[in-house]
Amino acid sequence: GADVINDITGLGDPAMMTVAARTQAPVVVMHMQGTPRIMQQKPSYREVVAEVIAWLEGVCGRAIEAGIARHQLIIDPGIGFGKTTQHNLELLHRLRDFRCLGYPVLVGTSRKSVIGDVLHLPVGERVEGTAATVALAVYEGADIIRVHDVKEMRRVIDMTQAIQESTRRWERGADVG
């Protein structure tokens, strides 16, 4: 009865691949270095974006081999899951790079520690930081945004998309005034 499978383990359990193939539900494949208990203990990458892309590509390939349809797959770079603040900022800055895989991209930054680290704010005071990351994610090509403050972030998304559309019209030489 699930509408979407959101697997933070990145289909690490083979039984999850079987369930996803059988149900034909969309599957969010999220990157995470380590496990929830240890993921924030010294996360390390040589090149975070390239490594996360390669990992997602490998998992999606195995998922397709296991019978999950390509159109079911959604990728999530896993902001906050086994990454430092700098890793998270680089992933957001280079989010467009994930488009090379050809899957819809999901981003979940809502109230995350990266926002708290940058702005020095507790969880309950991170709405503006979340808004900034949501606007950037939409601008950089994210297809799906996962948030807590739905009404406010819907407005941020609408405004970002309006700016993008205005820019497209301007670039085509259309009158935007």
Residues 6+ apart with CB under 8 A from 84: 43
72-108 burial: b if 16+ Cβ within 10 Å, else e: bbbbbbbbbbbbbeebbbbbbebbebbeeeebbbbbb
Annotation says 42 is catalytic: no
Name the DSSP letter for residue 105.
B
Annotation says 112 is catalytic: yes
Catalytic: which of 22, 146, 155, 169?
Answer: 146
Catalytic: which of 83, 111, 112, 126?
Answer: 112
Q: CA 147, CA 150: separation in Å to the nearest integer? A: 6
Cβ–Cβ under 8 Å, residues 67 and 19 = no
Instruction: Please give the positions annotated as active site.
Output: 112, 146
